[in-house]
Structures are given as structure tokens and as C-alpha cells.
Amino acid sequence: MYVVLVYDISQSENGQKRWSRVFKICKKYLSHIQNSVFEGEISKVQLVQLQQELKPYVDKDLDSVIIFKSRHERWLDKEFWGKEEDKTSFLI
């Protein structure tokens, strides 16, 4: 399936470190397209793995992670303005 993952990690409670862990984990599975936004094709199994890896670093009272899931990428048109992030997906 095709997913868009957006996260917001609070600066408090060691937030900078959590942000960077979340970033690195997402980057293992998805492409980085904006500051805290990732996208890409991912299997159900991989998505569960991703969620398991993220869990320890996402504080449910402070942070939020939203995952939009679509069965096909073609169901989602994407419009992009402005500067593009690096495209080094699947690398850390």
C-alpha cells in the first residue's frame, strides 16, 4: 500500500533526540519529502514493523503521528510547491 506519514514531536521531554530517532526509523522504510513528512510504498508487515519501532519514541501525551493509507498510489495526486527534500529514501 501507499502511505503518507506525518509526525509532530514535541520539543519537551528530550524531544530533539526523539525527533531524530523517529526521523531515522521512518527513513528506513519511506521517502523523506518534507521536514516531518514521509511517503512511499510499504507492505502491511513492514508498516507494523515501522509502528513497533516508532512506539518507544512517540509520547502519546506530547506527540502525534498520522498515517494516511491508500491502496494505490494512483488514488492520490500530489502537488508540490517550493523546495524539495533529499530523495535518499531507504538509506540512513
Cell numbers 530533539 label which residue? 16
- Amino acid residing at 9: I
Among positions 27-86, residues that touch a copy of itself (CB under 8 A) are 33-37, 58-71, 75-85
Q: Is 88 an interacting residue with respect to a copy of itself (CB under 8 A)?
A: no
**Chain centre to alpha carbon of residue 80:** 17
- The span from the CA of 53 to the CA of 51, in Å, is 5
| CB closer to a copy of itself, 25 vs 65 | 65
- The span from the CA of 46 to the CA of 14, in Å, is 27
Please, what is the minimum distance in Å from the beta carbon of residue 74 to a copy of itself?
10
- Which parts are annotated binding residues for Mg(2+)? 8
Residues making contact with a copy of itself (CB under 8 A): 4, 6-8, 33-37, 58-71, 75-85
